Amino acid sequence: MTLEEIAKQKKCSISTIQRLFKNYLNNPPTPQIKENNNCHLIIDGTYHSDFCIINYFDSDLKHLQYFEIAKTENYRDFKLSLELLKSAGLNIASITSDGHRELILAVKEVLPGIKHQRCIIHVQRTAANYLTIFPRSEAGKELRKIVRDLHRINNRQEKNEWVAKFDYWNFNHREYINDRRRSFDSNHLYTHSEIRKARSVIKNSLPNLFYYLDDPKIPKSTNGLESRFSYLKNNLRIHRGLSKRNRKNFLLWYFHFKYK
């Protein structure tokens, strides 16, 4: 809706609407951290244009406990935000994220020993992208079928069966996976690097992939948070002319009205 349309609807001048918007942007609300003694936190970065909104969403209260605007997802901002939430009295029981390396380091320092659930959908999507939609090799076809079932695991038995299939795949295709070729500079490179990357994504995630089976309150993916911010991105595109300061103030008001 344009300023002209808003002014017409409210039966006032455009300058009145502009003054109202300016007043809001100059007087943003303070983020409200709600008390929760057993918080299951989803952390995810939403990228837009030249900045990233790092979101800290309380899955239990359905409340955005905090957010930070940064150039990229980085260790410093992760660490400072987690320390802020911790000092505010928020008792974080678990974290679900896409496993960004900088976040993993920050969580280990600020919240040592906490359950850090790796987003199953992110692992599945990343591995599938390396394998492509139609893998040419038998090893690639088999691994894609295994990856496709990852999000369907709902209990320990299904998890054990899935891990057994993955382990068998590793054993059965070990020669193919470890095959090397000689490059022009005489280095020996792995022939099937994309399959190895897909395997590495799964192997590196496995220790933190199934915490949700022991505690159903732990979200197994960040998808719920991602869907909540699709509408926000559309609004930011409409208001892309805002300065960096006003963008943050706009977000403060957006989250205030959405989660109050």
Residue 249 and residue 28 in contact, taking contact as beta carbons nearer than 8 Å: yes
Q: Which of 34, 38, 31 is nearest to 91 (CA)?
A: 38
Q: Which of 116, 200, 218, 124 is nearest to 162 (CA)?
A: 124
Q: Are residues 237 and 114 located together in one domain of the fold?
A: yes
To which H or E segment does residue 225 belong? helix 223-228
CA distances from 229 to 31, 45, 236, 255 (A): 17, 10, 10, 10
Boundaries of domain holding 5: 1-29
Establish if 217 belongs to a structural domain. Answer: no
Integer-rounded Cα Rg, in Å, for the chain is 23
pLDDT at position 149: 95
pLDDT at position 228: 66
Higher pLDDT, 8 or 39: 39
Residue 115 has pLDDT above 80, yes or no: yes
Residue 35: HSE in the Cβ half-sphere, 13 Å Cα cutoff: 0
Q: Are residues 114 and 234 located together in one domain of the fold?
A: yes
Task: Give the integer Cα–Cα distance in Å for 260 and 256.
Answer: 5
Q: How many residues does the chain have?
A: 260
Q: Which of 163, 168, 189 is nearest to 178 (CA)?
A: 189
Q: Are residues 135 and 203 located together in one domain of the fold?
A: yes
Establish if 11 belongs to a structural domain. Answer: yes
Number of domains in the chain: 3
Q: Are residues 101 and 55 located together in one domain of the fold?
A: yes
Q: Is the dihedral of CA 135, 209, 37, 92 positive or negative?
A: negative
Establish if 102 belongs to a structural domain. Answer: yes
Q: Are residues 113 and 239 located together in one domain of the fold?
A: yes
Establish if 219 belongs to a structural domain. Answer: no
Confidence bin at 192 (pLDDT 50/70/90): confident
Establish if 196 belongs to a structural domain. Answer: yes
Higher pLDDT, 93 or 4: 93
Q: Which residues pair with 92 in a beta bridge?
A: 39
Q: Are residues 195 and 146 located together in one domain of the fold?
A: yes
Q: Are residues 111 and 137 located together in one domain of the fold?
A: no
Residue 81 and residue 33 in contact, taking contact as beta carbons nearer than 8 Å: no
Q: What is the pTM of this model?
A: 0.83
- The CATH number covering residue 109 comes to 3.30.420
* Residue type present at position 225: L
* C-alpha of 37 from chain center: 23
Q: Are residues 184 and 238 located together in one domain of the fold?
A: no
Task: Give the integer Cα–Cα distance in Å for 37 and 78.
Answer: 21
Strand order across the beta sheet in which 63-70 lies: 63-70, 51-58, 39-48, 92-97, 115-118
Q: What is the token pair recorded at 216?
A: 């159903």
Q: Are residues 193 and 146 located together in one domain of the fold?
A: yes
pLDDT at position 191: 83
Establish if 81 belongs to a structural domain. Answer: yes
Lowest-confidence segment of 61-65, 93-97, 248-252 by average pLDDT: 248-252
Establish if 35 belongs to a structural domain. Answer: yes
Confidence bin at 30 (pLDDT 50/70/90): confident
